[in-house]
Protein backbone atom coordinates (compact mmCIF):
# COMPACT_ATOMS: atom_id res chain seq x y z
CA UNK A 1 0.00 0.00 0.00
CA UNK A 2 1.11 3.47 -0.38
CA UNK A 3 1.89 5.60 2.53
CA UNK A 4 1.17 9.35 1.95
CA UNK A 5 -1.14 10.35 4.78
CA UNK A 6 -1.10 6.76 5.78
CA UNK A 7 -0.25 3.33 4.61
CA UNK A 8 -3.31 1.27 4.26
CA UNK A 9 -4.53 -1.96 3.08
CA UNK A 10 -7.92 -0.66 2.44
CA UNK A 11 -8.19 2.04 -0.02
CA UNK A 12 -10.96 4.13 -1.04
CA UNK A 13 -11.87 7.12 -2.81
CA UNK A 14 -10.57 10.44 -3.90
CA UNK A 15 -10.96 12.31 -7.15
CA UNK A 16 -8.95 11.11 -9.97
CA UNK A 17 -8.10 9.40 -13.12
CA UNK A 18 -8.95 6.00 -14.43
CA UNK A 19 -6.74 3.08 -13.44
CA UNK A 20 -5.04 1.01 -16.10
CA UNK A 21 -6.86 -2.12 -17.30
CA UNK A 22 -4.08 -4.31 -15.88
CA UNK A 23 -4.65 -2.92 -12.40
CA UNK A 24 -8.29 -3.96 -12.58
CA UNK A 25 -7.85 -7.24 -14.42
CA UNK A 26 -8.11 -9.60 -11.44
CA UNK A 27 -8.41 -8.74 -7.78
CA UNK A 28 -9.11 -12.15 -6.32
CA UNK A 29 -6.36 -12.44 -3.70
CA UNK A 30 -6.06 -16.23 -4.01
CA UNK A 31 -8.01 -19.34 -5.00
CA UNK A 32 -9.58 -19.35 -1.53
CA UNK A 33 -13.35 -18.96 -1.25
CA UNK A 34 -16.25 -19.94 0.98
CA UNK A 35 -17.52 -23.40 0.10
CA UNK A 36 -21.27 -23.53 -0.58
CA UNK A 37 -23.72 -25.64 -2.51
CA UNK A 38 -25.86 -22.84 -3.98
CA UNK A 39 -25.85 -19.14 -4.86
CA UNK A 40 -26.53 -16.65 -3.50
CA UNK A 41 -25.23 -17.80 -0.12
CA UNK A 42 -25.73 -15.96 3.16
CA UNK A 43 -22.78 -15.24 5.45
CA UNK A 44 -23.53 -14.11 8.99
CA UNK A 45 -21.55 -11.06 10.10
CA UNK A 46 -21.10 -10.92 13.87
CA UNK A 47 -21.38 -7.32 15.07
CA UNK A 48 -18.79 -6.68 17.79
CA UNK A 49 -18.37 -2.96 17.14
CA UNK A 50 -19.34 -0.02 19.33
CA UNK A 51 -22.04 2.49 18.40
CA UNK A 52 -19.62 4.86 16.62
CA UNK A 53 -18.93 2.16 14.05
CA UNK A 54 -22.45 0.76 13.59
CA UNK A 55 -23.39 2.94 10.62
CA UNK A 56 -20.16 2.05 8.79
CA UNK A 57 -20.73 -1.65 9.36
CA UNK A 58 -24.34 -1.36 8.18
CA UNK A 59 -23.19 0.36 4.98
CA UNK A 60 -20.55 -2.31 4.32
CA UNK A 61 -23.08 -5.10 4.84
CA UNK A 62 -25.52 -3.41 2.46
CA UNK A 63 -22.80 -2.77 -0.13
CA UNK A 64 -21.45 -6.31 -0.25
CA UNK A 65 -24.96 -7.78 -0.21
CA UNK A 66 -25.54 -6.02 -3.54
CA UNK A 67 -23.45 -8.82 -5.05
CA UNK A 68 -25.41 -11.34 -7.12
CA UNK A 69 -23.72 -14.31 -5.43
CA UNK A 70 -23.85 -13.53 -1.70
CA UNK A 71 -25.62 -11.74 1.10
CA UNK A 72 -24.32 -10.59 4.46
CA UNK A 73 -26.63 -10.57 7.46
CA UNK A 74 -25.80 -8.95 10.79
CA UNK A 75 -25.83 -10.98 13.98
CA UNK A 76 -25.40 -9.47 17.45
CA UNK A 77 -22.06 -10.26 19.07
CA UNK A 78 -20.29 -9.50 22.34
CA UNK A 79 -19.09 -5.89 22.56
CA UNK A 80 -17.28 -5.83 25.90
CA UNK A 81 -13.72 -4.51 25.75
CA UNK A 82 -12.17 -7.94 26.35
CA UNK A 83 -14.37 -9.52 23.68
CA UNK A 84 -13.57 -6.82 21.12
CA UNK A 85 -9.87 -7.00 21.82
CA UNK A 86 -9.77 -10.75 21.34
CA UNK A 87 -12.23 -10.64 18.40
CA UNK A 88 -12.50 -14.41 18.50
CA UNK A 89 -13.50 -15.84 15.11
CA UNK A 90 -16.65 -17.91 14.83
CA UNK A 91 -16.65 -20.95 12.57
CA UNK A 92 -18.58 -20.35 9.36
CA UNK A 93 -19.01 -16.62 10.05
CA UNK A 94 -17.24 -13.26 9.83
CA UNK A 95 -16.76 -11.20 12.99
CA UNK A 96 -16.13 -7.44 12.89
CA UNK A 97 -14.54 -5.65 15.89
CA UNK A 98 -13.10 -2.30 16.94
CA UNK A 99 -10.80 -1.68 19.89
CA UNK A 100 -7.80 0.42 20.94
CA UNK A 101 -5.32 -2.26 19.89
CA UNK A 102 -2.36 0.03 20.57
CA UNK A 103 0.42 1.84 18.71
CA UNK A 104 1.45 -1.31 16.87
CA UNK A 105 1.47 0.25 13.41
CA UNK A 106 -1.71 -1.15 11.90
CA UNK A 107 -4.92 0.70 11.17
CA UNK A 108 -7.01 -2.29 10.12
CA UNK A 109 -6.71 -6.07 9.77
CA UNK A 110 -8.56 -8.75 7.86
CA UNK A 111 -7.77 -12.28 9.05
CA UNK A 112 -8.98 -15.29 7.10
CA UNK A 113 -8.77 -18.94 8.23
CA UNK A 114 -8.70 -21.54 5.48
CA UNK A 115 -8.87 -25.31 5.26
CA UNK A 116 -7.56 -26.61 1.98
CA UNK A 117 -8.86 -24.11 -0.58
CA UNK A 118 -11.89 -23.02 1.44
CA UNK A 119 -12.40 -20.08 3.78
CA UNK A 120 -13.80 -21.28 7.09
CA UNK A 121 -13.99 -18.13 9.25
CA UNK A 122 -12.79 -14.54 9.25
CA UNK A 123 -12.41 -11.39 11.29
CA UNK A 124 -12.11 -7.69 10.47
CA UNK A 125 -10.52 -5.39 13.06
CA UNK A 126 -10.41 -1.58 13.29
CA UNK A 127 -7.69 -0.09 15.50
CA UNK A 128 -9.22 2.82 17.43
CA UNK A 129 -5.79 3.87 18.69
CA UNK A 130 -5.43 5.48 15.25
CA UNK A 131 -9.08 6.08 14.40
CA UNK A 132 -9.32 8.28 17.50
CA UNK A 133 -6.80 10.70 15.95
CA UNK A 134 -7.72 13.62 13.69
CA UNK A 135 -6.04 12.00 10.67
CA UNK A 136 -8.21 8.88 10.66
CA UNK A 137 -11.35 9.93 12.50
CA UNK A 138 -13.10 10.76 9.23
CA UNK A 139 -15.96 9.30 7.24
CA UNK A 140 -13.57 8.61 4.39
CA UNK A 141 -11.06 6.49 6.30
CA UNK A 142 -13.63 4.69 8.42
CA UNK A 143 -15.81 3.73 5.48
CA UNK A 144 -12.80 2.71 3.39
CA UNK A 145 -11.35 0.33 5.97
CA UNK A 146 -14.73 -1.03 7.07
CA UNK A 147 -15.58 -1.79 3.44
CA UNK A 148 -12.23 -3.25 2.41
CA UNK A 149 -11.57 -5.68 5.26
CA UNK A 150 -14.81 -7.66 4.78
CA UNK A 151 -14.02 -7.64 1.05
CA UNK A 152 -10.83 -9.61 1.81
CA UNK A 153 -12.77 -12.08 3.94
CA UNK A 154 -15.05 -12.70 0.95
CA UNK A 155 -12.05 -13.52 -1.25
CA UNK A 156 -11.15 -10.20 -2.87
CA UNK A 157 -7.72 -8.59 -3.06
CA UNK A 158 -6.94 -5.04 -4.14
CA UNK A 159 -7.54 -3.60 -7.58
CA UNK A 160 -4.36 -1.53 -7.20
CA UNK A 161 -1.67 -1.47 -4.47
CA UNK A 162 0.24 1.71 -5.26
CA UNK A 163 -0.86 4.90 -3.57
CA UNK A 164 1.14 6.86 -6.14
CA UNK A 165 -1.25 5.78 -8.89
CA UNK A 166 -4.35 7.90 -9.50
CA UNK A 167 -7.49 6.54 -7.84
CA UNK A 168 -9.54 4.07 -9.82
CA UNK A 169 -12.73 5.49 -11.31
CA UNK A 170 -15.39 4.62 -10.34
CA UNK A 171 -13.85 4.67 -6.87
CA UNK A 172 -13.63 1.45 -4.92
CA UNK A 173 -12.68 0.52 -1.39
CA UNK A 174 -10.46 -2.19 -2.86
CA UNK A 175 -8.04 0.43 -4.21
CA UNK A 176 -5.11 2.08 -2.36
CA UNK A 177 -5.73 5.80 -2.07
CA UNK A 178 -6.47 8.51 0.45
CA UNK A 179 -10.23 9.07 0.73
CA UNK A 180 -11.89 12.45 0.96
CA UNK A 181 -12.74 13.53 4.50
CA UNK A 182 -16.50 13.17 4.08
CA UNK A 183 -16.47 10.57 1.32
CA UNK A 184 -18.36 7.31 1.77
CA UNK A 185 -16.37 4.57 0.04
CA UNK A 186 -18.09 1.61 -1.64
CA UNK A 187 -17.17 -1.36 -3.86
CA UNK A 188 -17.46 -0.75 -7.61
CA UNK A 189 -18.85 -2.94 -10.38
CA UNK A 190 -15.48 -4.60 -10.96
CA UNK A 191 -15.54 -5.91 -7.38
CA UNK A 192 -18.99 -7.40 -7.92
CA UNK A 193 -17.87 -8.94 -11.22
CA UNK A 194 -14.87 -10.52 -9.49
CA UNK A 195 -17.08 -12.00 -6.77
CA UNK A 196 -19.28 -13.49 -9.49
CA UNK A 197 -16.19 -15.12 -11.03
CA UNK A 198 -14.88 -16.40 -7.69
CA UNK A 199 -18.22 -17.99 -6.85
CA UNK A 200 -19.18 -19.10 -10.36
CA UNK A 201 -18.74 -22.78 -9.46
CA UNK A 202 -20.56 -24.64 -6.71
CA UNK A 203 -19.07 -26.99 -4.11
CA UNK A 204 -20.32 -30.30 -2.82
CA UNK A 205 -19.87 -29.20 0.81
CA UNK A 206 -20.19 -25.93 2.68
CA UNK A 207 -18.05 -23.95 5.13
CA UNK A 208 -20.71 -21.27 5.61
CA UNK A 209 -21.93 -21.72 9.17
CA UNK A 210 -20.28 -25.14 9.31
CA UNK A 211 -17.73 -26.54 11.76
CA UNK A 212 -14.35 -27.44 10.26
CA UNK A 213 -11.92 -29.59 12.31
CA UNK A 214 -8.64 -27.82 13.05
CA UNK A 215 -9.92 -24.26 13.29
CA UNK A 216 -9.21 -24.23 17.03
CA UNK A 217 -5.47 -24.39 16.44
CA UNK A 218 -5.18 -20.61 16.66
CA UNK A 219 -6.71 -20.41 20.16
CA UNK A 220 -4.49 -18.87 22.81
CA UNK A 221 -2.64 -16.79 20.23
CA UNK A 222 -3.07 -13.00 20.23
CA UNK A 223 -3.76 -12.50 16.53
CA UNK A 224 -3.66 -8.70 16.86
CA UNK A 225 0.12 -8.74 17.36
CA UNK A 226 2.41 -8.76 14.28
CA UNK A 227 4.54 -11.54 15.76
CA UNK A 228 1.58 -13.92 15.42
CA UNK A 229 0.99 -13.39 11.69
CA UNK A 230 3.62 -15.77 10.32
CA UNK A 231 5.65 -15.27 7.15
CA UNK A 232 5.36 -12.42 4.68
CA UNK A 233 3.52 -13.38 1.49
CA UNK A 234 3.29 -10.02 -0.25
CA UNK A 235 4.83 -6.58 -0.02
CA UNK A 236 3.08 -3.44 -1.24
CA UNK A 237 4.61 -0.78 -3.49
CA UNK A 238 5.59 1.24 -0.42
CA UNK A 239 7.86 -1.56 0.78
CA UNK A 240 5.59 -2.38 3.72
CA UNK A 241 4.39 -5.95 4.14
CA UNK A 242 0.70 -6.25 3.30
CA UNK A 243 -0.14 -9.96 3.52
CA UNK A 244 1.04 -12.64 5.94
CA UNK A 245 0.50 -16.38 6.16
CA UNK A 246 0.61 -18.54 9.27
CA UNK A 247 0.57 -22.31 8.80
CA UNK A 248 -1.51 -23.98 11.51
CA UNK A 249 -0.75 -27.50 10.26
CA UNK A 250 -2.99 -30.15 8.78
CA UNK A 251 -3.91 -28.04 5.76
CA UNK A 252 -5.12 -25.14 7.93
CA UNK A 253 -3.75 -21.62 7.56
CA UNK A 254 -4.58 -18.09 8.61
CA UNK A 255 -3.92 -15.11 6.34
CA UNK A 256 -3.60 -11.54 7.63
CA UNK A 257 -4.13 -8.46 5.45
CA UNK A 258 -2.70 -5.34 7.03
CA UNK A 259 -3.54 -1.66 6.62
CA UNK A 260 -0.64 0.30 8.05
CA UNK A 261 -1.07 3.71 9.65
CA UNK A 262 1.35 6.59 9.19
CATH number, residue 37: 3.40.390.10
User: Does residue 187 form part of some domain?
Assistant: yes
Residue 20 has pLDDT above 70, yes or no: no
CA torsion, ordered 38, 95, 56, 184, to nearest 10 deg: -60
Q: pLDDT value at position 12?
A: 29
**Structural domain contains residue 154:** yes
Q: What is the largest CA-CA distance in the chain?
A: 49
The radius of gyration computed from the CA coordinates of the chain, to the nearest angstrom, equals 17
What is the residue range of 87's domain? 21-260
Whether residue 10 lies inside any domain: the answer is: no
Task: Tell me how far apart the alpha carbons of residues 172 and 73 are, in angstroms, rounded to a whole number.
Answer: 22
Contact 209, 75 (CB under 8 A): no
Instruction: List the Cα angle 236/240/245 in 5-degree steps.
Output: 80
- What confidence tens digit (pLDDT) does each residue in 91-137 have? 999 999 999 999 999 999 999 999 999 999 999 999 999 999 999 99
Within a domain: 15: no
pLDDT of the residue at 161: 81
Phi, psi values for residue 113, rounded to 5°: -90, 135
pLDDT in tens, 214-225: 544 444 456 888
CA gap 210, 225 in Å, rounded = 27
Nearest CA-CA partner of 261 in 240, 245, 246: 240
Q: Which are the contacts of 158, defined by CB distance < 8 A and separation ≥ 6?
A: 1, 9, 11, 27, 29, 174, 175, 176
Please state, in angstroms and rounded to a whole number, the distance separating the CA atoms of residues 261 and 48: 22
Q: Is residue 11 part of a domain?
A: no
Please give the residue that has the higher pLDDT: either 118 or 13: 118
Provide the terminal-to-terminal Cα distance of the chain, rounded to the nearest Å.
11
Residue 2 lies in a domain: no
Q: With bands split at pLDDT 50, 70 and 90, how would you rate the model's confidence at 30? A: confident
Asked if residues 151 and 191 have their Cβ atoms less than 8 Å apart, the reply is yes
Q: How many domains does the chain have?
A: 1
Q: List the one residue out of 96, 98, 103 whose CA is nearest residue 130.
A: 103
Pairing of strands 118-127, 106-115: antiparallel
Confidence (pTM):
0.86
Predicted confidence at residue 224, as pLDDT, reads: 80
The secondary structure of the chain as a DSSP string is: ---SS---SS----S-PPPPHHHHS--B-SS-EE--SSSSEEEEEEEE--HHHHHHHHHHHHHHTTSSSEEEEEEE---SHHHHHH----TTSEEEEEE---SSSEEEEEEEEEETTEEEEEEEEEEHHHHTSTTT-SHHHHHHHHHHHHHHHHTB--SB--TTSPPPSS--TTB-SPPPTTPPP---HHHHHHHHHHTSS--SS--TT---TTGGGGTTS-TTSGGGS-EEEEE-TTS-EEEEEEEEETTEEEEEEEEE--
Q: Does residue 4 form part of some domain?
A: no
12 inside domain: no
Amino acid sequence: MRKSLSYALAAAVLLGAVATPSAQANNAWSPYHWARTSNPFTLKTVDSVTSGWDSYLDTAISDWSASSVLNLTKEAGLTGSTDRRRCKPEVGKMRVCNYTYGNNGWLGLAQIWVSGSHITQGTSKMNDTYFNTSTYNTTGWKSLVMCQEPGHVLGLGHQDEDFNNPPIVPHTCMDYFVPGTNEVVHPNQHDYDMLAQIYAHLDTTTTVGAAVPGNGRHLGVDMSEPGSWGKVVREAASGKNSLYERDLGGGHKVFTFVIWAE
